[in-house]
Amino acid sequence: MPSKKNQEGITAKKNENFSEWYTQVVQKCELADLRYNVKGFLVFQPWSVLSMEKMYRHMEKNLQKKGHKPYWFPTVIPKSNFEKESSHVKGFTPEVFWITKGGNTKLEEPLALRPTSETAFYQMFNLWIRSYKDLPFKTYQRAQVFRYETKATRPFLRGREFHWIETHCVHATIEDAMKQVKEDMQTNKEILHDIYGLPFIFFQRPEWDKFAGAYRTFASDVLNPDGKVIQQPSTHIISPSFAKAFNITYKDKDGKEKPAYTTCYGPAISRIFASVVIVHGDDKGLKFPWEIAPIQVMIIPIDIENKEIMKKAESIKKQIEGFADVSLDSTEKRAGEKFNHWEMKGVPIRIDIGLNDIKKKKTTIFRRDLDKKEVINEKDLMKKINQISKEFTKNLIKKADKIFEGRIKKAKSLGEIKKAIEQGLIAKCNFCSVNKEGISCAEKIEKETGAQIRGTKLDEKSLVSGKCVICGRKANEIVYVARSY
């Protein structure tokens, strides 16, 4: 199936022409086919699907451990549900795909292809939640969501259909809601950072940059090599008016009916996958973190016609099965082509099987975390694979964290912000206010630098001193400024 073109390898340099590099990786590594005949919709191919399925499993297991129960809600939401909450309808309806016909019959009420599912979950919360004993009520679903995106689409990053998880929770108090937000941030750390290997900052977004219907929005930003940040999972305390619109209340210990508070957290797996590709990839192609690699170990027989080699390859495969996802490339391509192919595809460990090694009872291993070849004693193979599996993602993280931290720059003036942005960095500066009063300063930054205020960090609230770098008034915040897509 792979055409000649796909076998050529990546020719663009990641740090010189990031955009072209990304396009080549998506196509040549067969992550998605962009030729489907509806704009903004992709055909996700096995190499990305296998990885994203693993990403789902890690995320879902973590959420379940924290008490979230899985649901499957309908893909369609009646129009009237949207209209119950005005800021949500205003924020989302321009982006909604509408189903208006069933067969040849006009539907009595148009149905939205869900762009997000608050309005579906909330009407059921209204039926399910009775008492303080039911709270917190923690749910999630694995689902696709759809947005009639009018901006330019980009594979995995911005499309009209994405594969995500959405959690929806109900709480007795706003304090409990805030506790949930912090738990979501912790989940983001445990999964996105520790398993997928992605460095990020979890910001509280400024007032003017909240989710449609949110009281508070928190979102994690990941940095691309071109200096732009991508918004990855966000978590929101939903505006109380939203729960009120759906009449989500509970009877408290004192017997009184009280309004509930809701939160949601939305890791978009297909979008996070893009960051995995971008953050870890290099000029050769992909590098998958161990836990989410479609294949973890690839065995390459140097000569597929040689029976001794093939026998050894099969026996090593059997040995590894059960411990890791292992495969054997017995296609007719030359061994050298296979090396390049699987390096490009980002398989963590490659094992080359040749006669010389067999005679000497040695095994040659190539590890993609360090791009290093090692010759070990055959009998130590499983011990070695086990060791690499433990180090692999940590090595990717170490590198990614270092790059990320090196690209955050303290700026003391608008000029310094501008300079940092031009260098592809994230600028960090004192700022007056992320409420309404700060809007004019924020606009000034955006106008001068083309970058936006991404928000503040919860754990830096107490560290603020000095003056706003724009207006010179007392600084109440430390904000981060970056360009985004």
User: Which residues contact a second copy (rule: CB under 8 A)?
Assistant: 1, 3, 33, 35-38, 41-46, 49-50, 52-53, 69-78, 81, 93-105, 110-111, 113, 120, 123-124, 127-130, 134, 137, 144, 146, 148, 150, 161, 163
367 CA to centre of own chain: 25
35/256 with CB nearer a second copy: 35
292/426 with CB nearer a second copy: 292
Rounded Cα gap, residues 135 and 469, in angstroms: 44
Rounded Cα gap, residues 331 and 463, in angstroms: 60
Rounded Cα gap, residues 252 and 131, in angstroms: 6
26/411 with CB nearer a second copy: 26
Minimum CB distance to a second copy, residue 414 (Å) = 37
Minimum CB distance to a second copy, residue 274 (Å) = 15
Minimum CB distance to a second copy, residue 136 (Å) = 12
Minimum CB distance to a second copy, residue 147 (Å) = 9
96/324 with CB nearer a second copy: 96
Contacts 24+ apart (CB under 8 A), 283-286: 283/10, 283/13, 283/14, 283/21, 284/9, 284/10, 284/340, 284/343, 284/344, 284/371, 285/9, 285/10, 285/25, 285/28, 285/29, 285/343, 285/344, 285/345, 285/346, 286/25, 286/29, 286/344, 286/345, 286/346
Contact 237, 216 (CB under 8 A): yes
4/359 with CB nearer a second copy: 4
- Give the phi and the psi of residue 228 in degrees, each rounded to 5: -95, 145
Contact 338, 304 (CB under 8 A): no
CA dihedral for 353, 355, 358, 363, sign (positive or negative): negative
Minimum CB distance to a second copy, residue 72 (Å) = 4
71/404 with CB nearer a second copy: 71
Minimum CB distance to a second copy, residue 426 (Å) = 33
Spell out where 382-425 has E strands.
408-410
15/80 with CB nearer a second copy: 80
Amino acid at site 213: G
Minimum CB distance to a second copy, residue 103 (Å) = 4
